[in-house]
Amino acid sequence: MSDLDPETLKVVNYPHPVLRRVADTVPAVDDTVRAVAARMIALMHERRGVGLAAPQVGLGWRMFVANPTQEPQGDRVYINPRLVDPSPETSARDEGCLSLPQVTAEITRPVAITIEATGPDGQPVRETSDQFAARVWQHEFDHLEGVLLLDRMTRVDKMANKRAIRDLEG
């Protein structure tokens, strides 16, 4: 990890193979991990996103950044996250993805969930949300499992996005 230059990271698009792999645990929170997180936050803001997972910048790491509020103080880093206690209640909302530009789909997810992770300071983080953050965490966590929006779409949404998906596939 130490020979990695975070400034060279950029968002990769589907069908990049790293997007389909289960990400590896981050063994330790060090300066490189913090620098990668900072670069990911910058890329997320440049693209006007609300979350960005390490696989989306070509790294098979279990880490994502998020800022569901899009407020300057809202940036969060989640290293080796786990999602627990999903609510039985679900809701469907349109989602997009920075690695699938021009693709949107209505995705059903639990309304509330708890995230447990390590923060950039190496300390444990535990947060629960029944707001937009819960949806963002679930979307970004999917990336760590190699799961894409395409896998959660209805057949109707796949048809509606067929051209955009085909264009990405080249």
Neighbours of 3 (CB within 10 A): 5
Q: Which of 145, 155, 158 is nearest to 55 (CA)?
A: 145
27: helix, strand or coil: coil
Strand partners, 107: 93
| Parallel/antiparallel/unpaired status of strands 63-66 and 124-129 | unpaired
What's the CA angle centered on 109, arms 159 and 99, to 5 degrees? 55
Which member of 7, 95, 140, 169 is catalytic? 140
Q: Which of 84, 80, 100, 69 is nearest to 33 (CA)?
A: 80
Instruction: Say whether 106 is catalytic.
Output: no
Active site residues: 140
